Amino acid sequence: MIYGIWTFCSALAAFLISAVLGRFLIPYLHKLNFGQTILDIGPSWHKSKQGTPIMGGIMFIVAIILVTVISTVVYILAGPEFIDTFFADIPRESVFIFAGLGLALANGLIGFIDDFTKVVKKRNLGLTAIQKLVLQFIAAGAYLAVLGFAGCGTTTIIPFVGEIDLGIFYYILAAIVIVGMVNAVNLTDGVDGLDGSITFFACVAYMLIASMLNSLGITAMSAAAAGACLGFLVWNFHPAKVFMGDTGSLFLGGLVCSIAFAMNMPVLLLPIGIVYIAEILSVVLQVSYFKITHGKRLFKMSPIHHHFEMSGWSEVKIVAVFSAVTAVFGAVAFALVYFGVK
C-alpha cells in the first residue's frame, strides 16, 4: 500500500511542479527572446516553429530534482521499518540516486551551454560535436568515479544470465553506453512531444520494474521523472508552446541511463530505450551510406522520425506510434526482469 501512495505522490508532485512552472517560464523565455532557430535543411513546414522558446526542459529538471531529493531524504530518515520494505541497503541506493541526479544535471548543464550559445548567436549551432563529446565523457567519468569510490563494484546483472563481473572493462563500456544513450535521447528531440512522451513511457517501465524489485527510492525517482515529463507535455504537445532544448534532452539522457545503472541492469537500456537507439542508429547509417555511395541517402532524412515525417506522417502520429513501441518494449523489459532476475 505504501508503495502505491509513495509512487503516486511523487508522480503527482512532479507533474504539478513541471506543469505550473511552464505558466511562468514560457513568458519569461519569450521576454528574453530565447527562441529556436530552425535549420534550412529540415522539413519546410518546421519554419513555422521559428522563435518557439527553448530551454523548456528547466521545467521538468526542477520538478525531478526537487521531488527526488525530498522523497529520498524522507526515505532515508524514515528507514525500512517505517515504510515496510525489504530493501534495506538504503545508503547504496541513495548513492546511485544522487550520483544519477549529478550525471543528469551535468549533461543538462552541457545542454544549457549549447542552448545559450544558440540563442546568443541566433543560429541552430551551439557547441561543436567534439566539445560536447569531451564534456559528456567527463560527466560520465565523474559519475562512474563516484560509484567506484562508493564501492558499488563492477558487476552487472543480465536477465537469465545472472551477475557478471566485468572488471576494469565495466567503466570503459559504461562510459561509452552513457555517452551514446545521452546523445540518442538528444537526437530523439525533433518532433513536438516526442522526446517527452518516449521518456514518460520509459520511466513508467523503470518505475514498475523498480517497484517489483522493492527499490522504493528508484521507484519514486522514476515516478517523479514520468510525472515531470507529463507536466512538460502539457506545453510541448503539438503545436508546442516550448521546446525542451538540449538543456532538457541531455538531462533526460543522463537520467534514463542513471536509473538503469541504479538497478544494476544497464542492459535494460536495450529494450526500454529501443526508440532512442533506433534514432541514433538511423543517423549513423545515413551518414555511413551517404559516404559509401558518394551522395545517396538511405532515409529521406535522419533521425528516423524525420524520415516518417517526410513520408507524410503527422507529428501526432509519429509520437503515438513511437510511444506505443516504447510501451511494448517496456513491457518486454518488465517480463525479462520478472522471469529472469526476480
The DSSP code sequence of 220-248 is HHHHHHHHHHHHHHHHHSSSPS---HHHH
Question: What is the per-residue burial (b if ≥16 Cβ within 10 Å, else e) of 148-158?
Answer: eeeebebebbe
Reduced to 3 states (helix: H, G, I; strand: E, B; else coil), residue 297 is: coil
Q: Residue by residue, what is the 3-state secondary structure of 270-296? A: HHHCHHHHHHHHHHHHHHHHHHHCCCC
Task: Please give the sequence-ordered ranges of beta strands (E in DSSP) within the chain, or none if there are none.
Answer: 155-158, 162-165
pLDDT value at position 50?
67
Reduced to 3 states (helix: H, G, I; strand: E, B; else coil), residue 50 is: coil
Q: What is the largest CA-CA distance in the chain?
A: 65
Which residue has cell 524525420? 306
pLDDT value at position 38?
56
By the 8 A CB rule, do 229 and 199 touch? Answer: yes
pLDDT value at position 46?
56
Cis peptide before 239 (omega within 30 of 0): yes
Which residue range forms the structural domain that includes residue 51? 2-340
Separation of alpha carbons 163 and 160, rounded Å:
10
pLDDT value at position 297?
93
By the 8 A CB rule, do 228 and 63 touch? Answer: yes
Select from 258, 279, 251, 276 the least CA-distant residue to 330. 276
Separation of alpha carbons 334 and 330, rounded Å:
6
Separation of alpha carbons 187 and 154, rounded Å:
29
pLDDT value at position 339?
95
What total of structural domains would you count in the chain? Answer: 1
In tens digits, what is the pLDDT along the chain, a chain of 342 residues?
A: 666 787 899 999 999 999 999 999 999 998 888 766 555 555 555 555 666 888 999 999 999 999 999 998 887 777 554 444 434 444 678 899 999 999 999 999 999 999 988 887 766 667 888 999 999 999 999 999 999 988 888 999 999 999 999 999 999 999 999 999 999 999 999 899 999 999 999 999 999 999 999 888 899 999 999 999 999 999 999 899 999 999 999 999 999 999 999 999 999 999 999 999 999 999 999 999 999 998 899 999 999 999 999 999 999 999 999 999 999 999 999 999 999 986
